[in-house]
Amino acid sequence: MCSIIGCIHNSNLDVANVLVESMGKMEYRGYDSVGLATLSDREILIKKGIGRVSHVNKELSLNELKGEIGIGHTRWATHGGVTQSNAHPHVCARSEIAVVHNGIIENYLDLKNQLKNKGMTFKSDTDTEVIPNLLSSIIIEGNDLKNAVIKTVSKLTGQYSFIAMLKDKSLVGVKNHEPLILGLGSDGYYLSSDILGFAKHVDKVIYLDDEQFVIVNPSGYTIYDFKGNLVNLIPTKISKTSENVEKGKYEHFTIKEIHEQTSTVLQSGIESLDEFDTFFNILKTSKRVYVTGSGTSYNTALVAKYLFPKITGISIEPIMSSEMKFFDDCFNEDTTLVAISQSGESTDVLNAVAFAKEKNSKILSIVNTTTSSLAKASDSFIGLNCGYEVGVAATKSFTSQITILYRLLEKFDPSQKISSQLNSVVDAISKILENQKPVIDISHALKNINNLYILGRGVHYPIAKEGALKIKELSYIHAEGFAAGELKHGPLALMDEDTYVIVINPKDDGSTYADNLSNISEIKSRGAKIIGVSDEFNQIYDYWIPLPTLPKLFYPLIETIPFQLMAYYLSIERGNDPDYPRNLAKCVTVK
Ligand code: GLU
């Protein structure tokens, strides 16, 4: 989980500037340290440091490295602490090969010991450093580059992609269950974990498949599979919207993306209209339907569990992607797995899909990156169509996922007239965004608390969980979402005069409102303070976050917005960076 990038210019231009800019765009994938290596006059030059790209570049002037070939990395440490010596690139003991790596080499300790026995020395605690040393030791034995790569990957276990830079002016890009894309530009060749890294410079891209590698040099490229067979992959044109990711008038991507929901909700799924029919046909004939995802996408799966049975007659079983392997006996050719993911590259989700595929289940996915591994692995996919989401905490992708669930419900029951009501949903979102004062004031009042509890009942329970997840991610305050009825079965023990509880409490036909009010009384009797999120004021609330009035079916979509805002403002109040919360990364490509 990190970003890797490589570039060979066919002019005499230095690549460092391009690579620094690319790394800045991709650091959402990992941002604890940064490094760059270039090749200048047959010498490998390296600069690396701890922190974000802009910080390290300011300190070390990464962009001033000379050379027309280079590789770069933004790290999310898995093996070895966040230190300068563990930052990538790593070079082999003979300083002839530099490597940037995404993922994990599971057998690195064995390999490291074998290489040490051959006299090689190591400077870092990472798993990565075995790659340049192994490759170098195999080349020294007399193998050409192609065969050396084949022999190297045959010894590595784990899920990884890496780029190696060699002194003969070649780059090797290797893909094995982590992303890697080759970009073809008029000024040279690019390799990257994400199109975002080079969108500005290329017109066409080649998506390498797993167990493939490419050898690139200034005059061309050749792709092979891990057995050494030549592979012919057709370049595809890229959409130029990929390069357009700026903060505009906003201070952070997160608040920009929260505001974008007034349009992204309407756009969700609209480029996949035929696929809605495919989903409908597959779902209605499936004996069992499981929905999987991680983090926010798992909360979407929970929303599906509540929304689907009544309108479709289908019962939905959500399974966290990371827990999938414990459900062996559930999958067969009569079952369907719906996988939900923003990036489509999350390792847990991809592993869950691989597991169900092995049992011949149908795979449907709801995914933002339609060129992702998840989209490729699916029988059919619906694109979120919400544009790049840079903020590490999911915001607009969540409401787009939920909107797609609604659009699917309409396939089962057209009388729900979902699409024609989405404009009023968007008006309601606009109203919340136009009146942020209650949320800003509450965030200020709550900035020093240590714990926060969020209650919701029925379909509002997954929203309580998602609200708590946002607050944890961005503010680092411990927040928990509970099903309101569970309060008396345990969490009530946590309530005292210092406790704050947010209750999602829309005024509905009686299915949740009255019961919530009883829970609120129980909480207040223990001295805790209540923040009501509701379309109706009630004097029992200590604070009130008003919601616009809307047909009740759509409440999950709008009531998540105040939590996104609260997480954002709490993060600012506490001096955090809302776009890049500590210890997290946008796309989790490790187990
Ligand atoms: N396993 C490597 C490390 O810890 C790469 C991690 C990453 O994907 O950023 O340095």
- Convert the pLDDT of each residue in 141-177 to its tens digit: 999 999 999 999 999 999 999 999 999 999 999 999 9
For residue 245, the model assigns a pLDDT of 74
For residue 295, the model assigns a pLDDT of 97
Sign of CA dihedral 204, 20, 590, 155: positive
Sign of CA dihedral 109, 113, 114, 115: positive
For residue 578, the model assigns a pLDDT of 95
What is the Å distance from ligand 1's center to 33 Cα? 10
In order, the DSSP letters of 120-151 are -----S-STTHHHHHHHHHHHTT--HHHHHHH
Q: How far apart are CA 526 and CA 538, in angstroms?
A: 19
Q: How far apart are CA 180 and CA 389, in angstroms?
A: 19
CATH number at residue 86: 3.60.20.10
What is the Å distance from ligand 1's center to 43 Cα? 25
For residue 472, the model assigns a pLDDT of 98
* Residues 6 or more apart in contact with residue 8 via CB below 8 angstroms: 15, 68, 69, 169, 171, 188, 189, 216, 217, 218
193 class by beta-carbon count within 10 Å (0-12 exposed, 13-18 middle, 19+ buried)? buried
Buried b (16+ CB within 10 A) or exposed e, 534-551: bbeebebbebbbbbeebe
Asked whether the predicted pLDDT for residue 244 surpasses 60, the reply is no
> Three-state DSSP class for 354?
helix
In a domain, 447, yes or no: no
Q: How far apart are CA 289 and CA 434, in angstroms?
A: 39
In a domain, 426, yes or no: no
> Is 2 annotated in the active site?
yes
For residue 590, the model assigns a pLDDT of 66
In a domain, 316, yes or no: no
What is the Å distance from ligand 1's center to 68 Cα? 25
Q: How far apart are CA 522 and CA 534, in angstroms?
A: 19
> Is 586 annotated in the active site?
yes
For residue 197, the model assigns a pLDDT of 82
Which atom of ligand 1 is closest in space to residue 2's alpha carbon?
Answer: 9
Residue pLDDT, tens place only, 505-558:
999 877 899 999 999 999 999 999 999 999 999 999 999 999 999 999 999 999
The residues with which 54 forms a beta bridge, in sequence order, are none
Q: Is the shortest distance between the CB of 156 and ligand 1 below 6 Å?
A: no
Q: What residue ranges in 415-569 does DSSP mark as E strands?
A: 451-456, 478-483, 500-504, 529-534, 543-546
H-assigned helices in 82-121: 108-117
Q: Is the shortest distance between the CB of 76 and ligand 1 below 6 Å?
A: yes
Residue pLDDT, tens place only, 373-423:
899 999 999 999 999 898 999 999 999 999 999 999 999 999 989 999 999
In order, the DSSP letters of 509-532 are SSSSHHHHHHHHHHHHHTT-EEEE
Pocket test for ligand 1, best of 126, 129, 163, 588 (most atoms within 8 A of CB): 126
pTM of the prediction?
A: 0.81
Asked whether the predicted pLDDT for residue 282 surpasses 80, the reply is yes
> Is the N-terminal amide bond of 179 cis, ω within 30° of 0?
no
For residue 520, the model assigns a pLDDT of 96
Q: Is the shortest distance between the CB of 35 and ligand 1 below 6 Å?
A: no
DSSP 51: S
In a domain, 490, yes or no: no
In a domain, 42, yes or no: yes
Q: How far apart are CA 340 and CA 348, in angstroms?
A: 11
For residue 131, CA distances in Å to 127, 162, 586 come to: 8, 9, 25
* Residues 6 or more apart in contact with residue 584 via CB below 8 angstroms: 392, 393, 473
Closest C-alpha among 52, 45, 54, 35 to residue 14: 45
Tally of domains within the chain: 1
Q: Is the shortest distance between the CB of 102 and ligand 1 below 6 Å?
A: yes
For residue 1, the model assigns a pLDDT of 63
In a domain, 170, yes or no: yes
In a domain, 505, yes or no: no
Which atom of ligand 1 is closest in space to residue 124's alpha carbon?
Answer: 10
For residue 10, the model assigns a pLDDT of 82
Q: How far apart are CA 583 and CA 591, in angstroms?
A: 15
Q: Is the shortest distance between the CB of 345 and ligand 1 below 6 Å?
A: no
Expressed as residue numbers, the domain containing 13 is 2-242
For residue 250, CA distances in Å to 27, 242, 257, 260, 585 come to: 19, 19, 9, 11, 21
Instruction: Catalytic residue, from 25, 175, 411, 586: name it.
Output: 586
For residue 29, the model assigns a pLDDT of 78
